[in-house]
Amino acid sequence: MNYNILSYSIYLPVTFYLTFVVGKICFTNGEIYLHRIMNDHPDNVKSINRLLLIAYYLFNLGYAAIMLSHWPVIDNISQSILIAFNKIGLILFILGILHYNNMLMTYYLSKIIHKQKSLTKSQSL
Residue 5 exposure: Cα atoms within 13 Å on the Cβ side:
2
Instruction: Render each residue's pLDDT in the chain as its tens digit; 125 residues.
Output: 689 999 999 999 999 999 999 899 989 988 887 887 777 777 788 888 898 899 889 988 999 999 888 888 999 999 999 999 999 999 889 888 888 888 888 788 778 877 877 777 777 66
Structure confidence at residue 76 (pLDDT):
92
Structure confidence at residue 120 (pLDDT):
77
Instruction: Quote the strand ranges of the chain, DSSP E.
Output: none
The CA distance from 58 to 9, in Å, is 20
Structure confidence at residue 58 (pLDDT):
92
The CA distance from 23 to 41, in Å, is 23
Structure confidence at residue 62 (pLDDT):
92
Domain boundaries, given as residue ranges, for the chain? 3-124
Structure confidence at residue 8 (pLDDT):
92
